[in-house]
Structure 1
Amino acid sequence: MEQGVLLSEPEEAAALYRGLSRQPALSAACLGPEVTTQYGGQYRTVHTEWTQRDLERMENIRFCRQYLVFHDGDSVVFAGPAGNSVETRGELLSRESPSGTMKAVLRKAGGTGPGEEKQFLEVWEKNRKLKSFNLSALEKHGPVYEDDCFGCLSWSHSETHLLYVAEKKRPKAESFFQTKALDVSASDDEIARLKKPDQAIKGDQFVFYEDWGENMVSKSIPVLCVLDVESGNISVLEGVPENVSPGQAFWAPGDAGVVFVGWWHEPFRLGIRFCTNRRSALYYVDLIGGKCELLSDDSLAVSSPRLSPDQCRIVYLQYPSLIPHHQCSQLCLYDWYTKVTSVVVDVVPRQLGENFSGIYCSLLPLGCWSADSQRVVFDSAQRSRQVRDTDCVEGQPLWSTPRSPGGSGGSWKLLTIDQDLMVAQFSTPSLPPTLKVGFLPSAGKEQSMLWVSLEEAEPIPDIHWGIRVLQPPPEQENVQYAGLDFEAILLQPGNPPDKTQVPMVVMPHGGPHSSFVTAWMLFPAMLCKMGFAVLLVNYRGSTGFGQDSILSLPGNVGHQDVKDVQFAVEQVLQEEHFDASHVALMGGSHGGFISCHLIGQYPETYRACVARNPVINIASMLGSTDIPDCSVSCRCVVEAGFPFSSDCLPDLSVWAEMLDKSPIKYIPQVKTPLLLMLGQEDRRVPFKQGMEYYRALKTRNVPVRLLLYPKSTHALSEVEVESDSFMNAVLWLRTHLGS
């Protein structure tokens, strides 16, 4: 294919997708115990877990690979893989014991139908399975949580017990008229159990149980559970306050109790995925007396508490506002023995020059402490990059960006750190994830960090990229938050025959409080390889630019974010001289909201649009989304500029304002051909939003095509759905941007 020329055949696009989609993604890493060889050398194993799309099986497969890292105590001498990758079927969670001599694995097995799938908790030692517990058969609780919001699998310091979170066992329910025939071959115990009058509650089989929203539909009432590894006994911990749901738990110093995060679920549960603003607090429950103690402010939101190696302090993230769904957070430190809490890193209103712009990660790595318990290491968005942050808990917070290969300015993700040996991932828009290890330098010398590659990835040729800093014109300034700038990441084909013939695809991100970073992303890379320039816009309100930027967006959706994207498009077209008559939009969730606004407000600019689960009518979505307080796509009430309250309905003026900020207002001006892709099981932006837009456009004879995926959720990330939606999007763009 000639560079800069659009692929003309679906087969070519499919072949390109098949090749690039094979790039695996790192999901986790852990370090084995330190080993001293007979020659005096030291080494550690690195266990990594990856995911990869399998287009033949139409599923994401998981596999693991081991590496060896030889070192001299403060630097890596040699590192490399130890054997080939092995698929790990059925693994949901796994954790090494503190000494590294054992490993706990939560595994699913059995059929795929209702009630057929079983969960087992296994304990492995050296080259054998030491224990296996059929959790489903024991019936102490419901399914174990494996998500990263509530889920955990934590060894006690003594390595005798395992702590995890599971769904509370529900009472059996049956119809008022249901009768159960007794099996004559059943055991006496089974017959006695079936005869018990309190075994089932008549008329309760259709009782509604609230869940925690998008991607959490089976999770309602979490409980803390402890497994005695030796005896196999399971106990559900008591003492957790009834008004909170526990999760993210770990063993307290001395194994005398458990520390956990508790989320308020009254008056009702709201979607928690991607919503770090859910009211929550840090708790300690004593295992002996069952007494529960509050460890943090209970009027804010917290997440990911992590115990220091010396078991003296806990760091955690705290969000000082319950308004934006994701925002700049504080890093707090709780001293276990003095009971004193301090703020190590505070909220940063806005970045000044090259300075630190705040913490924006939703979870700290499970391994984040330095060996001396004096520093915490994690990654966070800093403007349009993901960098490594190092915070000295005893003094001045530090911000350091590791030296990038070739000075390319890509993005980093810390997977774990143990005994100052770090495992991290590095990638760029043209370089798939590479796995690296290195020792954390002494305090104050973080900039001298040296990395050694464990697994190199091949750069994708002919993708050029860079970051554009954009300053909105004076008439588009936010009066309350003046002086804010924003950024866009531009990918473009390398050396096209004629740059003025290159079409451009504009992609605003979802959220709205999230961001694009200079990391590997399949869709932008694919589009660029097919001859498109791709513009990824971090409009004002994106994370990584300071809290002021985030707070500038509520009340201004449909206006500030839309104008920022349009301004970025006009600036790049003027500077790069791409084909201004062949510009398209592609966005999902709030990015779809912005895209549908743009084809209504600027119909002459865009020749085609692809929208995934877009918010179309804020007012009609209020009563159907799992997050009416702060929709990830439109912030139904708050993003429209009004305070949210769970006990009242908006008045007529609020309804009118929501409609005024919605893309559906601009339906009469739309003439851009639109491809809609909707997930029928979407809890965040119910698919009826897209249907409403589809029907309105159809009545006006606007070219529109609708893809409805019956079992898909908000992200459309299932392998079959993702591949189908990409191919349809490419063909739509090719049809309407082709010359």
Structure 2
Amino acid sequence: MTTIDNKILTSAIETYRHYAGQPTLSDIESCRQDSNDEILHLTPYFSTMDLVKLEDLTYTRSFTYSLKNHQLLFTSNVTPINKNIVRRLASPDSQYLAIVTKETKGEQHLHYVQIWHDEHLIFGYKINDSKISPHGKILPKNDYGSFFEWSPDSRRLIFTAEEKRKPLKSYFTAEKLDDIGEPASIYRENWGEQMELFETSVVCIFDIDTKQVKLIENQPKDLYFGQCTWTTNPDEIILVAFRIEPYQLGIIFCENRSTALFKCNWRNHEWIQLTEFDQLCRLYPRHLPKKDNEFIYLQSDVYHAHVQCLYGSIPLRCYSSDGRYLLLPSLCGSRNVLYIYDFIEQKIISLDSPLGVNTSMIGLAVFGHYVAVNIVDCRTPFRLYVFDLRILNKKDKDTNDWHLIVEHEFKKEEKNKIEWNLDRFFPDNESIPVESIYVHVHDTQSKRPLMVLIHGGPNSTVTLNYYIGVVAYISLGFDMLIVNYRGSVGFGQASIDKLLGNISKIDVQDCHEAICRCLEYTEPSRPVVLIGGSHAGVIIGRLIGEYPNEYTVAILRNPVTDLLHTYLTSDIPDWALAQSVNGQFDFETGRNRLADTSLVTYLIERSSIRLIDQIKTPVLLQLGKKDKRVPCSIGLRYYECLKANKIPTKLYIYDSNHALSETSCASDCFVNTVLFIHEHLKLSS
């Protein structure tokens, strides 16, 4: 490497190390007020990266806050969460703590369950202990496919686990025929991308009073139970069931799978089906705390877009203790927003940020009559606020109604140099908007390259939030443009529906227009770098094919470049049909639509790989070999075609999945991206 190359590499490493080391607020373990309603006790989860061990880190800190004096009274030291912890959950009364840990001994993978009361371990067992444990491994946290929940009275813990299986033994080494378990080589279906561990589920319950863990019997066959909520009856729960037959598709980020709701009495082992498996997806049931047999859930249509115009996933602690208020996270354009439903007034109220519209609000939990909120923006990783819901209907609202518990602070000169602007326009003279976020440094006179971040999905959104990559790229000399094209969530159902059958057309048009508008308003002649993954491969692949002289470098991560290949190999083949031709996936015919030559032709025509001969732009590919959503082979074929055409290209393959989000992958991707851009832009520093 030259001296300049070494300087670029060193700068990329140190910049990423600095910003990756900043903590973000990821969740909240416990939150409560004292009996006099004067003191708050909150224990949030924070996340950061260890770039020495190349590991994700999670830790907790506890805060004690005086409502009367608006003053933080106590801050605890950091309590790291051991990476071997599979599950950890405090009970609603904060008296109990349930922990599931994993351990490897030789070829054995062991799981242990512990129940703590204050500082005392009151119960524990090894999961493969045949005398105590009626289940296999307890499933890790996943919003779609597992649950691990204390009852409201803190007396019982309900959870999902694998079915108990016989240890695997060879036909030829088992002492008795009864010792032979299911062959290790038999194929077991799972729920696809990032959910390979989720094959079967059984529902179990631990009872504090009896110190026993039991399997709830009579669980309906051929169903997978992935979500639940306790009712006001301590013996009953409401569950969400997915069908296992005829086969399983991916479900993570797919809120359009047919589901049914069940009610279960765990004491009597009685199961009642409340809804049919029809053309509706029902998720996130949450039972009202003061009403018998009343609960809310999110509902959307099966087929079509995987995410539709809904509220976001509803937090488990979403109700005020009196049952009057319900917390509803949502999106409004490029912002995370919060709404409160008032059951007495029967109206939805917008919970406005005390810091204005240039921020996003992430709801963490409701406790008592308070809501804990994380308020973020492009340069602030977290601000933990608490708001008293009883003053929602006050006529004259005041920012003093909000209580700031703790916030992250960069150095003033570092924080103030980052600015952002929103640009909204309406393509094709329609009422459906496109929005972009331009993140840049304050009052720069230099000609900085424009890096354009295009999200995947396509039914997702990049919101006003803190992203390590964005602030790090800006620190290294780039300005960022983030485009939320038609089909992004947060802009109404019409926007989502507009993209169905129109991918590689209007999404490409929207992104190109957003880029042109930004260049016109700023510096038209600067170089433009495109970066994105998944569905962004459809868009970026078309942009560098249709406009071969306008884009300087392209960075593609697990990109969809071949729609036919995606339809045949992805864990969500219905995605290719819905987005490409606005067609429905039929389980009876499945992927066997190849006799429909018009469909095959259309998928090929709309694939960005079809424009491979028009590409001049250097392309960096970053692929995860465990990717089930956009299998690695799709990107590999694209790489081979680029090489054959002598287009400057480089390929990195990681031992990861679609997200490439592990610390080891994300950090390596960042540095390799900077080096590749430097190589082809000839940046001086």
- CA shift, 1:576, in A, is 1.6
How far apart, CA to CA, are the structure 2 residues paired with 1:378 and 1:587?
A: 29
Aligned to 1:453: 404
Contact 1:462/1:529 (CA < 8 Å) preserved in 2?
Answer: no
Contact 1:7/1:530 (CA < 8 Å) preserved in 2?
Answer: no
Contact 1:122/1:133 (CA < 8 Å) preserved in 2?
Answer: yes
* Correspondence 1:647 to 2:647: no
* Correspondence 1:720 to 2:670: no
Q: 2:363 is matched with which residue: 414, 422, 447?
A: 414
Cα offsets for 1:476-515 (capped at 9, x unmatched): xxxxxx42111001111222123xx221011111111000
Q: 2:180 is matched with which residue: 175, 184, 200?
A: 200
What pairs with 1:127-146 in structure 2 (closer than 5 Å)? Answer: 127-138=119-130, 139-146=133-140
Cα offsets for 1:106-141 (capped at 9, x unmatched): 222345x6533x222222222332222222334522
What pairs with 1:247-646 in structure 2 (closer than 5 Å)? Answer: 247-296=226-275, 298-299=277-278, 300-312=280-292, 313-329=294-310, 359=311, 361=312, 363-405=313-355, 407=356, 409-445=358-394, 448=398, 450-459=401-410, 460-474=415-429, 482-498=430-446, 501-580=447-526, 582-630=527-575, 635-636=576-577, 638-646=579-587
- CA shift, 1:252, in A, is 2.7
How far apart, CA to CA, are the structure 2 residues paired with 1:723 and 1:432?
A: 18
Secondary structure of the residue aligned to 2:381 is strand
Contact 2:500/2:578 (CA < 8 Å) preserved in 1?
Answer: no
Aligned to 2:630: 685
Secondary structure of the residue aligned to 2:178 is coil
Aligned to 1:702: 647
- CA shift, 1:94, in A, is 2.5
Q: 1:59 is matched with which residue: 55, 60, 67?
A: 55
- CA shift, 1:547, in A, is 0.6
What pairs with 1:637-676 in structure 2 (closer than 5 Å)? Answer: 638-648=579-589, 649-650=592-593, 651-676=596-621
* Correspondence 1:85 to 2:30: no
Aligned to 2:25: 26
Go from structure 1 to structure 2 and tell me whether the alpha carbon gap of 1:80 and 1:673 turns closer, same or farther (over 3 Å shift): farther
Contact 1:70/1:77 (CA < 8 Å) preserved in 2?
Answer: yes
Contact 2:418/2:439 (CA < 8 Å) preserved in 1?
Answer: yes
Go from structure 1 to structure 2 and tell me whether the alpha carbon gap of 1:157 and 1:295 turns closer, same or farther (over 3 Å shift): same
Aligned to 1:125: 117
Contact 1:489/1:536 (CA < 8 Å) preserved in 2?
Answer: yes
Q: Which moved more, 1:303-312 or 1:551-560?
A: 303-312
Aligned to 1:97: 91
Secondary structure of the residue aligned to 1:431 is coil
Cα offsets for 1:400-430 (capped at 9, x unmatched): 142343x361111111111112211111112
Amino acid at match of 1:264: R
How far apart, CA to CA, are the structure 2 residues paired with 1:327 and 1:439?
A: 31
Go from structure 1 to structure 2 and tell me whether the alpha carbon gap of 1:520 and 1:32 turns closer, same or farther (over 3 Å shift): closer
Amino acid at match of 2:295: I
- CA shift, 1:646, in A, is 2.0
How far apart, CA to CA, are the structure 2 residues paired with 1:10 and 1:320?
A: 48
How far apart, CA to CA, are the structure 2 residues paired with 1:448 and 1:144?
A: 46
- CA shift, 1:25, in A, is 2.1
Go from structure 1 to structure 2 and tell me whether the alpha carbon gap of 1:23 and 1:600 turns closer, same or farther (over 3 Å shift): same
How far apart, CA to CA, are the structure 2 residues paired with 1:252 and 1:199?
A: 41
Contact 1:679/1:712 (CA < 8 Å) preserved in 2?
Answer: yes
How far apart, CA to CA, are the structure 2 residues paired with 1:617 and 1:463?
A: 37
Aligned to 1:44: 40
* Correspondence 1:160 to 2:159: no
- CA shift, 1:520, in A, is 0.7
How far apart, CA to CA, are the structure 1 residues paired with 2:539 and 2:638?
A: 14
Aligned to 2:207: 228
Aligned to 2:222: 243
Cα offsets for 1:657-694 (capped at 9, x unmatched): 00111111101100100000001111110011111111
Q: Which moved more, 1:217-226 or 1:394-403?
A: 394-403
Contact 1:6/1:531 (CA < 8 Å) preserved in 2?
Answer: no
Where does the alignment leave 5 or more consecutive residues of structure 2 unmatched? none
Where does the alignment leave 5 or more consecutive residues of structure 1 unmatched? 181-193, 330-358, 475-481
Contact 2:304/2:578 (CA < 8 Å) preserved in 1?
Answer: no
How far apart, CA to CA, are the structure 2 residues paired with 1:108 and 1:422?
A: 33
Contact 2:190/2:248 (CA < 8 Å) preserved in 1?
Answer: yes
How far apart, CA to CA, are the structure 1 residues paired with 2:314 and 2:107?
A: 35
How far apart, CA to CA, are the structure 1 residues paired with 2:213 and 2:37?
A: 42
Cα offsets for 1:605-639 (capped at 9, x unmatched): 10101000001111022221111112xxxx35543
How far apart, CA to CA, are the structure 2 residues paired with 1:91 and 1:578?
A: 51
Contact 1:301/1:322 (CA < 8 Å) preserved in 2?
Answer: no
Amino acid at match of 1:652: T
How far apart, CA to CA, are the structure 1 residues paired with 2:7 and 2:504?
A: 35
How far apart, CA to CA, are the structure 1 residues paired with 2:503 and 2:101?
A: 43
Cα offsets for 1:340-382 (capped at 9, x unmatched): xxxxxxxxxxxxxxxxxxx2x1x21111112321221132111
Cα offsets for 1:291-336 (capped at 9, x unmatched): 322334532111111122225331211113432111113xxxxxxx
Secondary structure of the residue aligned to 1:262 is strand
Secondary structure of the residue aligned to 1:99 is coil
Q: CA RMSD in A?
A: 2.3
Aligned to 1:335: none
Go from structure 1 to structure 2 and tell me whether the alpha carbon gap of 1:157 and 1:724 turns closer, same or farther (over 3 Å shift): closer
Contact 1:640/1:661 (CA < 8 Å) preserved in 2?
Answer: no
- CA shift, 1:32, in A, is 4.7
Secondary structure of the residue aligned to 1:324 is coil
How far apart, CA to CA, are the structure 1 residues paired with 2:483 and 2:523?
A: 18
- CA shift, 1:572, in A, is 1.0
Contact 1:133/1:232 (CA < 8 Å) preserved in 2?
Answer: no
How far apart, CA to CA, are the structure 1 residues paired with 2:9 and 2:473?
A: 13
How far apart, CA to CA, are the structure 2 residues paired with 1:542 and 1:486?
A: 9
Go from structure 1 to structure 2 and tell me whether the alpha carbon gap of 1:7 and 1:470 turns closer, same or farther (over 3 Å shift): farther
Secondary structure of the residue aligned to 1:253 is coil
Contact 2:372/2:385 (CA < 8 Å) preserved in 1?
Answer: yes
How far apart, CA to CA, are the structure 2 residues paired with 1:232 and 1:128?
A: 14
Contact 1:30/1:48 (CA < 8 Å) preserved in 2?
Answer: yes
Q: Between the two proteins, what is the percent identity of the paired residues?
A: 28
- CA shift, 1:697, in A, is 0.8
Aligned to 2:682: 738
How far apart, CA to CA, are the structure 1 residues paired with 2:108 and 2:209?
A: 28
- CA shift, 1:241, in A, is 2.4
Secondary structure of the residue aligned to 2:129 is helix
Go from structure 1 to structure 2 and tell me whether the alpha carbon gap of 1:16 and 1:565 turns closer, same or farther (over 3 Å shift): same
How far apart, CA to CA, are the structure 2 residues paired with 1:608 and 1:80?
A: 51
How far apart, CA to CA, are the structure 2 residues paired with 1:162 and 1:437?
A: 28
How far apart, CA to CA, are the structure 1 residues paired with 2:267 and 2:376?
A: 48
How far apart, CA to CA, are the structure 2 residues paired with 1:604 and 1:77?
A: 58
How far apart, CA to CA, are the structure 2 residues paired with 1:612 and 1:516?
A: 16
